Structure 1
Amino acid sequence: MKISKVLILASLVCAASLADQIKIAGSSTVFPFSSYVAEEFSVVKNKKAPIVESIGTGGGFKAFCSASGKNGIDISNASRPMKMSEFEECLKNGIDDISGYMIGYDGIVFAQNKDNGSLNLTKEQIFLALAKEVPIDGKLVANQYKKWSDIDKNLPNKEISVYGPPTTSGTRDSFEEQLMQKASKKFKEYGYKSGKYSQIRDDGVYIPSGENDNLIIAKLAQNKNAFGIFGYGFLAENKDKIVAVAIDSVSPNENSVGDGSYELARSLYFYVKNSSKASNPDISEFIDLFVSESMIGNDGVLKSIGLIPLNKELFAKMQENVKNPTKLTKDMVKNSEILK
């Protein structure tokens, strides 16, 4: 009987401890930045480090919107804005007080083994390599391109093999929107789908590689014929192994991503349940640290691991948003906004 009481007490203590520990899930791109801040939070505040999981932007929002309280996710990392369907799922489950924060910029890179040297591809060439259907002789047919040189004789004579994010990934969503859909505008054969076509081939040429982008880096280090799709931060951390392809003659770097001249630039976010903040003061302290000058400022430490800082105006707005959080509304979600 005594043992039972001890076990019950230990379980209650453990449950209380986990309930107080901040739980974060979502984007693999934001994961390294969030993890760094979590570790710093533990050291600086002398508290348990938040639990951070890399399950993709879509997976993060699914977990975030499925439950509140001690069983739910407090913060959802995202490499794209929340979708209306995700917001409505939150509302359906009684999660209606959410605030969003932009932490900086990132670029989606198309990279290869460093030993291959530099390469320039157009959006259209990448599109033709990856689209499920391609225009040939005025008709759309199943993609028959096996080698890059099949698309353009001036491209490398090697098989098309691309490791990329799964459908749960915000990086995949952004890639489909910013490259696939835009490139489809160049081909009249897509008709009413022009500017909307984003279907990626599923014949083994494109290889979904999970939410751990470091695995893609490892595969590129071993396979000189392959390309990979992931966030700029992973490129910045692995320049000894990989090199980014220039897209339409623009290479991804801090300047081209920050000023938007690199067309696959995007913003990074995290979303917070304000009910979690109210019940756990640690969350407010974590947010304060995350959006601080020392973390995401122009000379912040996250810049050294690949985060492209916000400009001064947006950084000031984010600071103000932390002091006076904006509650997310349907109109804001519809317009992909986090600030009124």
Structure 2
Amino acid sequence: MSYAKLSTSFLAVLAVSATAAAARDQIRIVGSSTVFPYTQAVAEQFVNNTGAPSPIVESTGTGGGMKIFCEGVGEQFPDITGASRAMKKSEYDLCQQNGVTDISEALIGFDGLSLAISRDNDFDWDLTLGEVYLALAAQVPVNGEWVDNPYRKWSEINPDLPDVDILAYGPPPTSGTRDAFVELAMHAGCEELDYVKNGGFDSKWVEENCSRMRTDGPFVEAGENDNLIVQRLEADPHALGIFGYSFLYENLDKLKGVKIEGVEPSADTIADKSYPISRPLFIYIKNAHRGVIPNLEEFIEEYMSDDALEPGGYLSERGLVPLSDERRMELQDAVLSGKPMEAPKS
């Protein structure tokens, strides 16, 4: 490490040390609404085990959490951020510019991006990714032309689907769930269309032309609070919601999952990859705050514990699809030792 980098890191740690004890004794965590319930569960267990002050856990969305996390080192900045996708290179670079140079990345498990509907809706929903794309994309092919999406009812896309208005509540652009949904569902659905398959369009074309959600009413950005989507689905039995599997899992008394390509979202189908819309979940730890912010090290140990992460652990009981035993042990060793993450390539 160069002298300049060493000096920067040393000054950053001094800044934390000088202010942490006087300013706050609570761990502060921001980030993904999908990771939020898992982190909240760890926080509750941590408080029960230690009697320490309860960590402050805020649901800011993945993008918003990264921005706050990367603003700097010191007691005024959060210690951990949750993310429903991997950190982007631009976010890593922002962290580096602001002196957040030592970060541990923890892939805590997997989650499915669920489409769900009220249990009051008695239709047996089973959508292809192509149908999802045609319902929710800003532009679609019609009669050999790439045009603004004209579809208003599900039956216009497939006559076997209900003759009801398309209405889907989903996450905003700041959400990692939105990023993952666009990549895993919208891009994949676009690639299923004959117009794209037969047109010889490459992945770059798909990314440039198939990433925008429609803004004319059928798709509604519902903010970062997934509980509000659940409430809206209860109020309108014809509306669909888009969120992480954990929220469907926690609300199975009110909601049911929509099959994708004939496969229902479940812990088993997400784990074996048969459910086509799944993604990894992360937390990122500011290592300069370890040993300085009170109880942070102990909180990380709880998050990395077998009780939390192993199959049958309390996070899997809340819907997290756990890592294999080998991957979990590798994760625990890396995070507990404070191994710094590698710079993302994109």
The question of a shared fold, defined as TM-score above 0.5 by the shorter chain, is answered with: yes
The AA in structure 1 aligned to 2:24 is A
Distance 2:238 2:315 in 1: 31
> In the alignment, is the contact (CA less than 8 A) between 2:128 and 2:189 conserved in 1?
no
Q: By how many angstroms is 1:16 displaced? A: 4.3
> In the alignment, is the contact (CA less than 8 A) between 1:181 and 1:194 conserved in 2?
no
Q: Are 1:307 and 2:320 counterparts?
A: yes
Q: By how many angstroms is 1:148 displaced? A: 0.3
Structure 2 partner of 1:90: 95
The AA in structure 2 aligned to 1:112 is I
Q: Relative to structure 2, which stretch is displaced further, 15-24 or 95-104?
A: 15-24
Which is bigger in relative contact order (C-alpha 8 A, separation at least 6)? Answer: 2
Structure 1 partner of 2:55: 50
Structure 1 partner of 2:125: 119
2:70 to 65, 68, 73: 65
SS in 2 for 1:20: coil
Any gaps of 5 or more consecutive residues in structure 2?
1-18
Q: By how many angstroms is 1:91 displaced? A: 0.7
Structure 1 partner of 2:44: 39
Distance 1:47 1:287 in 2: 13
Structure 2 partner of 1:284: 297
Q: By how many angstroms is 1:280 displaced? A: 2.3
Identity %: 43
Distance 1:281 1:70 in 2: 11
Q: By how many angstroms is 1:22 displaced? A: 0.7
Structure 2 partner of 1:220: 233
Distance 1:292 1:274 in 2: 18
Q: By how many angstroms is 1:15 displaced? A: 8.0
Q: How does 1:225-304 map to 2 (within 5 A)?
A: 225-280=238-293, 282-304=295-317
> In the alignment, is the contact (CA less than 8 A) between 2:20 and 2:74 conserved in 1?
no
Q: By how many angstroms is 1:322 displaced? A: 2.6
Distance 1:184 1:203 in 2: 19
Distance 2:336 2:60 in 1: 29
Distance 1:206 1:68 in 2: 38
Q: By how many angstroms is 1:181 displaced? A: 1.0
> In the alignment, is the contact (CA less than 8 A) between 2:301 and 2:336 conserved in 1?
no
Deviations 1:178-211 (A, max 9, x none): 0111122234358455432211001121111111
Residues 272/289 of structure 1: CA separation in 2 closer, same or farther (3 Å cut): same
Structure 2 partner of 1:8: none
Q: Are 1:106 and 2:111 counterparts?
A: yes
SS in 1 for 2:295: helix
Q: Relative to structure 2, which stretch is displaced further, 142-151 or 181-190?
A: 181-190
Structure 2 partner of 1:19: 24
Q: By how many angstroms is 1:17 displaced? A: 5.8
Distance 2:272 2:154 in 1: 30
Q: Are 1:28 and 2:33 counterparts?
A: yes
Any gaps of 5 or more consecutive residues in structure 1?
1-13, 336-340
Distance 2:39 2:307 in 1: 14
Distance 1:278 1:94 in 2: 18
SS in 2 for 1:279: coil
Q: Relative to structure 2, which stretch is displaced further, 275-284 or 42-51?
A: 275-284
Structure 2 partner of 1:170: 176
Q: By how many angstroms is 1:167 displaced? A: 0.6
> In the alignment, is the contact (CA less than 8 A) between 1:130 and 1:206 conserved in 2?
yes
Residues 296/148 of structure 1: CA separation in 2 closer, same or farther (3 Å cut): same
Q: By how many angstroms is 1:282 displaced? A: 1.3
Distance 2:155 2:62 in 1: 34
> In the alignment, is the contact (CA less than 8 A) between 2:104 and 2:287 conserved in 1?
yes
Q: By how many angstroms is 1:329 displaced? A: 2.5
Distance 1:40 1:48 in 2: 12
Distance 2:129 2:156 in 1: 16
Deviations 1:191-240 (A, max 9, x none): 45543221100112111111110110111011011000000001111111
Distance 2:52 2:316 in 1: 25
Deviations 1:7-51 (A, max 9, x none): xxxxxxx98465331110000001011011112211211110110
Q: Are 1:157 and 2:163 counterparts?
A: yes
Q: By how many angstroms is 1:263 displaced? A: 1.1
Aligned residues: 320
> In the alignment, is the contact (CA less than 8 A) between 1:75 and 1:272 conserved in 2?
yes
> In the alignment, is the contact (CA less than 8 A) between 1:185 and 1:194 conserved in 2?
no
The AA in structure 2 aligned to 1:76 is T
The AA in structure 1 aligned to 2:110 is Y
Q: Relative to structure 2, which stretch is displaced further, 274-283 or 117-126?
A: 274-283
2:134 to 128, 138, 147: 128
Give the TM-score normalised by the residue count of structure 2.
0.89
Deviations 1:317-336 (A, max 9, x none): 11211332321222xx227x
